[in-house]
Amino acid sequence: MASSAMTKTNITTGQLALLYLKSQIISDPSHFLDESWSPAISVCHWVGVTCGSHHQRVKSLNLSNIALIGWIPREFGNLSFLVSLDLGINNFHGNLPQEMARLRRLKFIDLSVNKFRGKVPSWFGFLHHLQVLNLVNNGFTGSIPYSFFNMSTLETLNLNFNSIEGKIPKVIGSLINLTELRLRDWIGNLHNMNWLSIQANQLTGSIPFTIFNISMIEVIAYTGNILSGSLPNGLFNGLPILKGLYLSSNKLRCHIPTSLSNCSQLQVLSLSENEFDGPIHSEIGRLSNLKILYLGMNHFTGEIPREIRNLIELEILNLGFNSFSGSLDMEIFNISALRIIDLSLNNLSGSLPPNICSILPNIETLFLDSLTNLVGTIPHSITNCSKLSELELSDSKLTGLIPNSFGYLTYLQLLNLRGNNLTSDSSLSFLTFLSNRRIPNEVENLSNLLDLDLSGNNLVGSIPTSIGNLRDLQHLDLTNNKLTGFIGDHLCKLQYLGDIYLGQNQLSRSLPNCLENITSLREIYLDSNKLSSNIPSSLWNLKYLMVLDLSSSNMVGSLPPEIGNLKAAILIDLLMNQFSNGIPREIGGFQNLANPAW
């Protein structure tokens, strides 16, 4: 009967193989296959199918990025004339069937961004015409099969974002046509290679130094592994056209080789999140084409070399979380292209120059937080940094007033002045500036602000009502100041607010009933105030609230059964208040609550 049916409808072998594939698709939200893949229509007219011009056999299958969910059946291996296969960016599951080894004509395979699993199939090594193999972002495990050395025509191999481990066999050095490798370990005689990427796996051991003999290589990327060892000093002598070196998030140690300065074409140097130590040598100033320099989260010491000012193309500089010492000389960074600077958590000392915006004319992000020896005031000329969007000056020894000029930074998204000794007792204060209704246009200019942290200073007065104009604000932290007055309804205008930190102040009176309108609220900290009021019943309607801290705030009244509505809560602290009743039994319904306090 099957033979009769095939004769009757003239179903070809390729058509039948694709019908088997269709039968394994459990979700086709765009209905591409439902509407097109029919036995009554020639397979060459099906969506995603391309046939050869002579024999009308299925030559190419492209079903990428259409949200298919399903499995690949064994019968798929009958597409013997298939040259190109692209199933990328879907939700295919399971193992790849062994029968796919019969697709000997394949030159291009893209199975990226799916949910395939199992060990990397060794049968790929029998596809002797394969030029591109892309398996990125799946669930493949195990090591690279030895059979891969058979793919002598392979030009691109990408296994990033899987769980590949172990060592790649040295015989992979036989792949002399490989120009782009996104895997890991051993290369050998791949003289034509210009791109090596081995990122986001769990690979260990040292970097194979033979790759640094490949004179045509332009990019080396080993980010996000567990590689260890040091980089020999002469390592970079033979890489004249290297443009990108990505070694971040490993366990590499010792000094940066001075030979790195021989890579005169280098544009990106990323060595952050390792265990490098010692000083940064002046030779780094010879990398005149460098645009991005990531050296953060290491153990570098000594002074920041003044030769950095020679990097005239530099746009991003990250030296944060190290042990650099000496004076904070901002003139070193007088580079017109520089947009982002991170010098956080170092041992630098000094003050902010009054002409900081002249030195950094195009600065967008400036992180100088946790510089415990940073003193002086914030210059009022900060308003001239017109492109500034992120400013971190927290946990230092800054004094004086918060300049009102912050109100003119129209692109400002993050302002963190936490843990200084700043005050707000004159007309020049930022908080007073916000509350001055005579200049509403400047308040509106702060509409891009997402994160405002002024905690741990000496701010006085009340929370200005015009903070309610910061409609995109997501994080507000005014903890540990000397703020007085009450928490007004103006906060309820902040519809995107996720966190409110107002603890350890002298705020009084009741909480606004309208807090329930801020459906995005996840954390509320109002501890150690003088509220002396009932908890508004509307507070129990915040079903996504995870943290509620009202401890030591002189709260009164009773706790209602509605407290049990806070199903998402992981912390509720009601200690040191004056509630008149016991704990409602409904609170026993919490499943996520850890260490309750009441």
Token digits for 2?
């099957």
pLDDT, residue 432, reads 56
Per-residue pLDDT band for 450 (boundaries 50, 70, 90) equals very high
pLDDT, residue 209, reads 66
Instruction: Report the mean per-residue pLDDT for the chain.
Output: 84
Task: Tell me whether strands 365-367 and 340-342 are parallel, antiparallel or unpaired.
Answer: parallel
Per-residue pLDDT band for 429 (boundaries 50, 70, 90) equals low
| Whether the predicted pLDDT of 9 surpasses 90 | no
| Identity of the amino acid at 456 | G
pLDDT, residue 193, reads 56
CA distance 69 to 30: 12
pLDDT, residue 185, reads 40
Q: Rounded to two decimals, what is the model's pTM?
A: 0.69
In whole angstroms, how far apart are CA 142 and each of 98, 108, 117, 148, 207?
Answer: 17, 23, 10, 14, 19
CA distance 193 to 452: 48
Tens of pLDDT along 334-366? 999 999 999 999 999 999 999 999 999 999 999
| Whether the predicted pLDDT of 3 surpasses 50 | no
DSSP annotation string for 211-249: GGG-TT--EEE-TTSEEEEE--TTTTTT-TT--EEE--S
Strand boundaries in 22-90, DSSP class E: 25-27, 49-51, 58-62, 69-70, 84-86
Token digits for 220?
């080396």
pLDDT, residue 194, reads 64
| Whether the predicted pLDDT of 190 surpasses 60 | no
Comparing 149 with 294, the larger pLDDT belongs to 294
| Whether the predicted pLDDT of 396 surpasses 60 | yes
Token digits for 25?
């698709």
The topology under which CATH files domain 499-598 is: 3.80.10
- Mean of pLDDT values over 428-436: 52
Which residue, chain included where needed, has tokens 């002024």?
454
- Residue 320: closest CA among 292, 290, 291, 298: 298
| Whether the predicted pLDDT of 30 surpasses 70 | yes
Lowest mean pLDDT among 153-167, 222-236, 295-309, 550-564: 153-167
Comparing 271 with 589, the larger pLDDT belongs to 271
- Mean of pLDDT values over 21-36: 90
Q: Are 308 and 330 in contact (CB under 8 A)?
A: no
pLDDT, residue 21, reads 96
DSSP helix/strand/coil, 77: helix
Tens of pLDDT along 228-286? 888 888 888 888 889 999 999 999 999 999 999 999 999 999 999 999 999 999 999 99
Comparing 369 with 53, the larger pLDDT belongs to 369
pLDDT, residue 10, reads 43
| Domain segments of the chain as ranges | 203-351, 499-598
Token digits for 567?
């199903």
pLDDT, residue 424, reads 62
Residues 6+ apart with CB under 8 A from 275: 251, 252, 253, 298, 299
Q: Are 131 and 107 in contact (CB under 8 A)?
A: yes
Tens of pLDDT along 509-524? 888 889 888 989 999 9
Per-residue pLDDT band for 5 (boundaries 50, 70, 90) equals very low
Lowest mean pLDDT among 13-22, 153-162, 489-498: 153-162
| Whether the predicted pLDDT of 27 surpasses 80 | yes
**Domain 203-351 identical in fold to domain 499-598:** yes
CA distance 14 to 57: 7
Taking the CB of residue 370, how many other CB atoms lie within 10 A of it?
Answer: 19
Check the CA dihedral 253-256-259-261 and report its sign: positive
pLDDT, residue 239, reads 84
| Whether the predicted pLDDT of 145 surpasses 60 | yes
- Residue 261: closest CA among 315, 323, 307, 316: 307
pLDDT > 90 fraction of the chain, expressed in percent and rounded: 51
CA distance 446 to 107: 54
pLDDT, residue 243, reads 93
Comparing 196 with 60, the larger pLDDT belongs to 60
CATH annotation of 203-351: 3.80.10.10
DSSP helix/strand/coil, 292: strand
pLDDT > 70 fraction of the chain, expressed in percent and rounded: 84
- Residue 188: closest CA among 164, 212, 159: 212
Q: Are 63 and 43 in contact (CB under 8 A)?
A: no
